A = this chain, B = another copy of it.
Amino acid sequence: MTAEKYTFPVTDGGFDAVFREYRAIFEKQLRTVCDSFCDNGAKYKALYDAASYSLEAGGKRIRPVLAFEMCRVCGGDINDAVPAAVAVEMIHTFSLIHDDLPCMDNDDMRRGRPSCHKAHGEAVALLAGDALSAYAGKYICDSDLSAEKKTAMIKELYDRTLGMIEGQTIDTDGKFDTLDGLLSMYEMKTSELLTAASVMGCIAAGADEEKISAARAYAHDVGLAFQIVDDILDVTSTVEELGKPIGSDAQQEKTTSVTLLGLDKARELAKKYTEGAENALSAFENNEFLCRLTDLLLNRKN
């Protein structure tokens, strides 16, 4: 465990500056973690090289930022949220590595470079995902948090991980007869880990049940709105705006909220969950950053 101590970004720098600083803190900590993978006697670098390759591939780091900011609005110390931020991103990364495998989505590329199994081989990628899942729990155990906070975090993390895995199982099929079925899958694949991040941030700060419930409601609705917005952009955006092929859902004959509801009703549904997320934030003071983050995630063009 690093002895590095962090402080919350000063908020008067505005949203972008705070977001950048959160990410910088996270990337710095992640580097320390990846550098120390082999310190405890690991004799075979290949496994952790593959894990680091995927962990450090970037992404928006929404989950770590949520963990940090939920900790802040609950009056906590950012250092207590570091184990949560790292652990939830490990779980997210493990899910991406396994999702890309040939027996799952069979994706050769991830974030503009070869996916883990393309770069490191299928067996090592499988095992690197396995290692990250176990490491997440170990990492929280190795922290300076109280035993009570550790167990509350680990329970939240693995409970939500199980939900996420269930969502992946359902999604292997890709066909849904009902809106409920589809939304339930979105909830599992996306809301679950956003919830883990948000709730673990609250736990880090020793927040009460009321705050934890609000964080749960927030993450739930953000996840659903995010997925529905994704469906909408796939049919309304341009290749230039989206930065990736549009119409890919239709091409793969995927059931989406747009195919089930039509564009107008899908927009209404996205609005409903966006408002739900915004309302949940009223439980927190100093929620400007979270409001802005929500707006960016849900009123985006790509």
Residues of A within 8 A of B (CB): 40, 42-44, 46-47, 94, 98, 101-104, 122-124, 126-127, 129-131, 133-135, 137-138, 141-142, 146-148, 150-151, 154-155, 157-159, 161-162, 165-166, 168-170, 172, 184
**Chain B, residue nearest A103 (CB):** B122
B-side contacts of A148, CB under 8 Å: 147
**Chain B, residue nearest A130 (CB):** B165
Decide: B155 and A138 in contact? CB cutoff 8 A: yes
B-side contacts of A130, CB under 8 Å: 94, 98, 129-130, 133, 165
Q: A122-B103, A133-B133, A151-B147 are in contact. Are A127 and B165 (CB under 8 A)?
A: yes
Decide: A169 and B44 in contact? CB cutoff 8 A: yes
B-side contacts of A129, CB under 8 Å: 130
Decide: B141 and A158 in contact? CB cutoff 8 A: yes
Minimum CB–CB distance for A58 against chain B, Å: 23
Main secondary structure of the interface of A (DSSP, over half): helix
Question: Complex formed: what's the CA distance from A159 to B124 in Å?
Answer: 19
B-side contacts of A46, CB under 8 Å: 169
Question: Complex formed: what's the CA distance from A168 to B134 in Å?
Answer: 14
Decide: A141 and B154 in contact? CB cutoff 8 A: yes
Q: A43-B166, A46-B169, A126-B103 are in contact. Are A134 and B147 (CB under 8 A)?
A: no
Decide: A166 and B103 in contact? CB cutoff 8 A: no
Q: A123-B104, A124-B169 are in contact. Are A162 and B134 (CB under 8 A)?
A: yes
Determine which of B151, B155, B169 lies in contact with A127 in the assembled complex, contact meaning CB atoms within 8 Å.
B169
Known A-B contacts: A42-B162, A46-B169, A103-B122. Give 16 more (CB < 8 A). Answer: A44-B169, A94-B130, A98-B130, A101-B103, A102-B103, A104-B123, A104-B126, A126-B126, A127-B169, A131-B165, A131-B166, A134-B165, A137-B137, A138-B159, A151-B154, A154-B154
Question: Complex formed: what's the CA distance from A106 to B147 in Å?
Answer: 41
Q: List 30 A-B contacts (CB under 8 A).
A: A40-B159, A42-B162, A42-B166, A44-B170, A101-B126, A103-B126, A104-B126, A123-B169, A123-B172, A126-B126, A127-B168, A127-B169, A127-B172, A129-B130, A130-B130, A130-B133, A133-B134, A134-B161, A134-B162, A135-B162, A138-B155, A138-B158, A138-B159, A141-B158, A147-B147, A147-B150, A147-B151, A150-B151, A151-B151, A154-B154
Question: Complex formed: what's the CA distance from A129 to B130 in Å?
Answer: 9
Question: Complex formed: what's the CA distance from A47 to B168 in Å?
Answer: 10
**Chain B, residue nearest A37 (CB):** B162
Interface centre among A94, A126, A133, A146 (most CB of B within 10 A): A126
